[in-house]
Amino acid sequence: MASSHYEVLGLSCDSSLGCIKKAYKERLLSSHPDKTRNDSSSVEVNKIQEAYKVLSNPELREIYDKSLKDDQKKQGLHSSGDGLDEYSLDEFCFNPAICEYCMDCPRCHGKDGFHFSEGTLEEHCQERASGGFLVLAQCSACSLWLKVNFDLAEEYEQADV
């Protein structure tokens, strides 16, 4: 399976233009044949340049993002979450310093590839028919999507009463 432009540059799909430019320069410098003395790295440089060309242009990026979403929908990944691995929020570590839940990605092993705040959970969660809540999350380093299941904490529920 081909890598997405975001994966080529090591970026998440919500990266700013500044982050895209920085990642492009870093990846290009680390992969350029003149730096690596490896002729086969020219193929990788072409992928890096193509990724930058698309992601740095707002119109091309919008078209590209839509095509990624359409591909994910065809695979049953985006809107319904069908076919995704499920994790409990209890499997995530909570970092009180930044008030975020974090977990290394099980696919690419990216450090804290999955991370989100309680506000993000509240904003994007869906109520499950069986009780509790569900949020779909994407790794910030690769294209892996997960279903994250959670329940409200008892103290949080009692505060609403």
Report all structural domains of the chain as residue ranges with CATH numbers, in order of start: 5-74 (1.10.287.110), 85-160 (3.10.660.10)
Q: What is the pLDDT of residue 144?
A: 86
Q: Is the pTM of this model over 0.85?
A: no
Per-residue model confidence as pLDDT tens digits over 16-64: 999 999 999 999 888 877 666 666 666 788 899 999 999 999 999 999 9
Q: What is the 3-state secondary structure (H, E, C) of 108-161?
A: CCCCCCEEEEHHHHHHHCEECCCCCEEEEEECCCCCCEEEEEECCCHHHHHHHC
Among 22-26, 34-38, 75-79, 119-123, which stretch is predicted with the lowest mean pLDDT?
75-79
Q: What is the pLDDT of residue 157?
A: 45
